[in-house]
């Protein structure tokens, strides 16, 4: 895989932004079909609250796992935004959900713009962002979350304690949260009401994670309105060890020609 660090200007944020990109590179050891390389599937990989665009590369086996697979990976930086158009005037949702795919296809025309070849996933805040963007646009056919923080509206007191109330009020309009574009259930119901296809969804959360009950509740609520999720709840905590461990499950779930590395044990 080739690893590229990209600085680009965001019209939505009116500032320079960063993303890391992995691209399959043709070498003497690869046998990829040239047609596939000219219409590459792509995974948009979102980070959590304490992380940035480099975290997936620094804390998981991502690049090594994908070394034999013809897929691109885009890892943008969203700061502490919750992938929202914030109350303090910085439109991170517009940047990541609407502008970034256009920038990616401008810079890398070999990356497919087809919905069936565009996927989005993330951990914690990034899992919330992945579902949010997949449900509010028609850009992505698959979305996956690891320990998704699906209720950033104050219901989860542990999550709420990570930042002061001034921070949360700067991100979300709490009084109108239920009927806003930041409420995942509201987005899910909107998606069902329109003619667009509902993206396929995957969710993993550990039973010792402080978000476990939130994940169970959210998956149940989706099921009640007719949206089924490929859910996997096992032992595990809110930790990169487990997100790295279950990353490969998502790669196997996605409709890509994932070719695992050779393992003799």
How much is the pLDDT for 26?
Answer: 84
Q: What is the pLDDT of residues 67-92, one digit of tens each?
A: 999 999 999 999 999 999 999 999 99
How much is the pLDDT for 213?
Answer: 98
Question: Helices in 34-75 by DSSP H: which ranges?
Answer: 34-37, 55-59, 62-65
- Looking at 3.40.50.1820, 2.60.40.10, 3.90.25.10, 3.40.50.1370, the CATH number of the domain 2-253 comes to 3.40.50.1820
How much is the pLDDT for 262?
Answer: 80
Tokens of 198: 């509902």
Please, are residues 211 and 237 in contact by the beta-carbon 8 Å criterion? no
How much is the pLDDT for 253?
Answer: 98
Please, are residues 41 and 35 in contact by the beta-carbon 8 Å criterion? no
Q: Put residue 158 in one of left, alpha, beta given phi > 0 → left and psi -120 to 50 → alpha.
A: alpha
A 10 A CB-CB count for 102 gives 11
A 10 A CB-CB count for 155 gives 12
Handedness of CA 239, 242, 247, 249 (dihedral sign): negative
> How is the chain split into domains, by residue range?
2-253
Q: Could you tell me the pTM of the whole model?
A: 0.96
* Torsions phi, psi for 201 (to 5 deg): -125, 140
Residues of the chain scoring pLDDT < 70: 265
Rounded Cα gap, residues 100 and 72, in angstroms? 14
């Amino acid at each position: 895989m080739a690893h590229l660090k990209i600085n680009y200007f965001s019209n939505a944020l009116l500032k320079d932004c960063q993303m890391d990109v992995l691209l399959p590179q043709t070498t003497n050891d690869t046998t990829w079909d040239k047609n596939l390389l000219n219409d590459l599937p792509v995974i948009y990989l979102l980070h959590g609250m304490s992380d940035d665009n480099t975290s997936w590369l620094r804390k998981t086996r991502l690049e090594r796992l994908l070394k034999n697979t013809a897929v691109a990976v885009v890892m943008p930086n969203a700061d502490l935004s919750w992938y929202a158009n914030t109350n303090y005037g910085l439109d991170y949702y517009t940047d990541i959900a609407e502008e970034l795919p256009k920038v990616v296809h401008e810079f890398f025309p070999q990356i497919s713009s087809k919905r069936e070849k565009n996927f989005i996933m993330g951990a914690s805040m990034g899992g919330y962002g992945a579902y949010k963007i997949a449900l509010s646009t028609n850009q992505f056919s698959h979305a996956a979350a690891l320990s998704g923080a699906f209720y950033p509206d104050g219901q989860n007191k542990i999550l709420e304690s990570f930042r002061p109330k001034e921070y949360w009020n700067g991100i979300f309009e709490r009084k109108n949260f239920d009927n806003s574009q930041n409420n995942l259930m509201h987005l899910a119901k909107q998606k069902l009401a329109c003619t667009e296809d509902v993206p396929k969804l995957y969710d993993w959360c550990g039973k010792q994670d402080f978000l476990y009950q939130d994940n169970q509740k959210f998956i149940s609520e989706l099921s009640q309105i007719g949206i089924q999720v490929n859910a996997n709840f096992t032992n595990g905590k809110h930790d990169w060890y487990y997100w790295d461990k279950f990353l490969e499950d998502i790669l196997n779930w996605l409709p890509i020609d994932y070719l695992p590395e050779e393992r003799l044990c």
